[in-house]
Amino acid sequence: MRNTTRVLAALAGAAALTLAVTLPANADTSDTTATVEVQAGALSIAAPAAMTLSAALPGATSTGTLSGVEVSDLRAGAAGWITTATITDFTSASTTATIPSTAVSFATATADVVGTATVTPSNGGAGTGTLQTATAVTGNNTATWDQTINVAVPADALAATDYTATLTYSVL
Amino acid sequence: MRRLLLATVGLLALCAFPAAGTIEASATTVPSSAAPTPSGIGIRLLDIPVATEKDPRAREYIVDNLAPGTTIQRRILVQNNTDQPQNIHIYSAAARISGDSFAGEKAATQNELSGWISADQTRLALAPHTSADDLVTIAVPANAAEGERYAAVWAEIRSTQPDASGSQVTSVSRVGIRVYLSVAPGNGPPSDFTITALTATIKPDGTPEIIAAVQNTGGRAIDLSGTLSLANGPSSLSAGPFVTSRITTLTPGSHGNITIPLRTGLPRGRWDATVHLSSGLLMHTTTATVTFMPTSAEVAVPKPGLSLALWILLGIIAILIIAATMAIILKRRRRQST
């Protein structure tokens, strides 16, 4: 019985510490609409800067994986977030051919989540798509996952070693 | 002997109590006291109107109703959590609600609302692990049409390309703050939604789901998520709460389906389902009776041929015939012998 009481007291203490996100009492009165400053962290994304795609013959699929794409939501709130990605066409400086962005599909691994949030992966196609959706969020949470990109090289693609594209990760 | 048994039981009970205490402690998720360290670039809305400070949506997004001709300013915080100095590009771009989701448009595509939004500093050069404020101004022109519009304020970094390793894909990372701006005099139209139906379905892989049909009956977009609890099921079971699989964003006047996946192995039959959905401070709850029908794979298919009962009946008749035959034979033998 004593042990249960000790555990409950420890839990109550921890709960009190985590609820210590407070708003300052003074409002910013320089704006005509009274506003209040919210003190908490930010929503951030970190994606590895470089990714290499495997070489592929026309008609085959080229694959590349970015490991450790991370979104940290330290806003200590209850709103979720959505991470999406879009990619531009692959262009080559040495040839005029392009590989259209519609040939690119995204395969998203299940994220490792720290914190209270349900993060659901989804796969995108045709060069764009939602990657991860976080819902049922309570407080700070961080999700890390590996993102794979598959490029279905068209059968009429021209050979080149310098195809490049820009991949944009957006989290909202 | 009995005393020894009682003593053993008593000792075991005492040992179980501290074990129960430690099990409780490990099962509860106590947040760690160390602050998590973010990486990449971050953004945060700093100023929110006092009137909406309790609204969880207004704390993360710029949600406002403005009369035509009004200008508002909101500070945002931009963080560089990387180990290199970064040139962060801050800009506003169009966004739309499609597929029941709030989505930013590609790159710097503009719409009417993003044209009204400007940032004080569009380029922020930040040293590693530093942050800075920026001021975002939204100026609604006097001739703006009424209605709600959507945009996003982005903070973006671009990796330098091509780099020495010859990688083919340049990475651009951007974080944004959603803007849901309604232009209307006064306080603008209210938000509301109705849960019109609850349907129980079973996916082809056997996972049960509840689908809630929702109608946005208000004048503002809503971001819906929530929980579902089941009660009064077969054998008086309860289950849940289960959470919605994603946040469903609905524009005014539109309707959508919200999916709540349940646990595989949930007993089929009738359940009372109670769904709580909320968008910011707006909440509605509905209870309905739903029935999960067993799928064709789960219903036992009767074997072709005669049923078991029929076989038993045939067996009894056969035994009776054999018994009768034997009785007749025995009687005849007795007659012959007498």
ipTM computed for the complex: 0.75
Chain B interface includes A77 (CB < 8 A):
yes
* Tens-digit pLDDT profile for residues B294-319: 877 667 666 666 678 788 888 899 89
Please check whether residue A73 is in contact with residue A114, taking contact to mean a CB–CB distance below 8 angstroms. no
Query: What is the mean predicted confidence (pLDDT) over A118-126?
Result: 88
Contacts of B60 in chain A (CB under 8 A): 43, 75, 77, 79
Q: What's the farthest any 2 CA atoms get from each other in chain A? A: 77
Query: What is the mean predicted confidence (pLDDT) over B5-15?
Result: 51
Chain B interface includes A4 (CB < 8 A):
yes
* Tens-digit pLDDT profile for residues B176-229: 999 999 999 988 899 999 999 999 999 888 889 999 999 999 999 999 999 999
Contacts of B169 in chain A (CB under 8 A): 50-53, 64, 87, 149, 164-167
Q: How many whole angstroms separate alpha carbon B136 and alpha carbon A152?
A: 41
Chain B interface includes A30 (CB < 8 A):
no
What are the respective helix, strand and coil percentages of chain B, to the nearest 5?
A: 20, 45, 35
Confidence of residue B246 (pLDDT cuts 50, 70, 90): confident
High-pLDDT (> 90) share of chain B, %: 57
**Nearest to B222, CA basis, from B27, B56, B48:** B56
B60: closest chain A residue by CA: A79
Residue of A21, A38, A69 to mutate when probing chain B, most B C-beta within 10 A: A38
In this prediction the pTM is 0.75
Cβ contact (<8 Å) for A28 and B47? yes
Chain B interface includes A126 (CB < 8 A):
no
Tokens of A55: 């070489």
Query: What mean pLDDT value characterizes chain B?
Result: 85
Cβ contact (<8 Å) for B169 and A149? yes
* Tens-digit pLDDT profile for residues B82-110: 888 999 999 999 999 988 889 999 888 99
| Helix or strand holding residue B230 (H, E) | strand B222-231
Tokens of A163: 């195809």
* Tens-digit pLDDT profile for residues A67-100: 889 999 998 888 889 999 999 999 888 888 888 9
Q: Which of B21, B46, B243 sits opposite A38 (nearest CB)?
A: B46
Q: How many whole angstroms separate alpha carbon B102 and alpha carbon B178?
A: 8
Please check whether residue B214 is in contact with residue B195, taking contact to mean a CB–CB distance below 8 angstroms. yes
